[in-house]
Amino acid sequence: MPAADAPLTVPYPYDGPDALRAGIFQALDRVVDPELALSIVDVGLVYGVAVTPKRLHVRMTMTSAACPVADVILDAAEDALDAIAPRGMEIALDLVWEPAWTPGRLSRAARVFMGW
């Protein structure tokens, strides 16, 4: 069992204060891809998080460039992060297409849920 003060391990690159790591993970984990009924973390849409004193920056993707719910997911992610970010911190979400999303990014829980 990890030590109580050990930082949370997240399934994406994280560069920022350990004090914010768990809150950011929990916020993103609550955002659901409405087409799959799974968290965007489990789907593997989050490519990385970087936090500076003034900015919380998330790089993420969609399963397809034609994703019809991309705006819904981005808005939900921004709202979730805004709710936990320190007051005055800018929330920046970058939607990227490289590297392309593949099913290999699905978490084990997502694969089990989908019967893969």
**What are the extents of the domains in the chain?**
14-114
User: Which has the higher per-residue pLDDT, 83 or 1?
Assistant: 83
Taking only the tens place, the pLDDT of each residue in 51-83 is 999 999 999 999 999 999 999 999 999 999 999
CA separation for the pair 83, 81 (Å, rounded):
5
CA separation for the pair 95, 83 (Å, rounded):
20
pLDDT (average), residues 21-29: 97
Q: What is the pLDDT of residue 116?
A: 87
Nearest in space to 38 (alpha carbons), one of 30, 49, 46: 30
CATH of 14-114, one of 3.40.640.10, 3.30.450.40, 3.30.160.250, 3.30.300.130: 3.30.300.130
pLDDT above 60 for 6:
no
What is the model's pTM? Answer: 0.91
Task: Record the tokens describing residue 56, joined without a space.
Answer: 């919380």
CA separation for the pair 58, 46 (Å, rounded):
7
Helix (H, G, I), strand (E, B) or coil at 57: strand
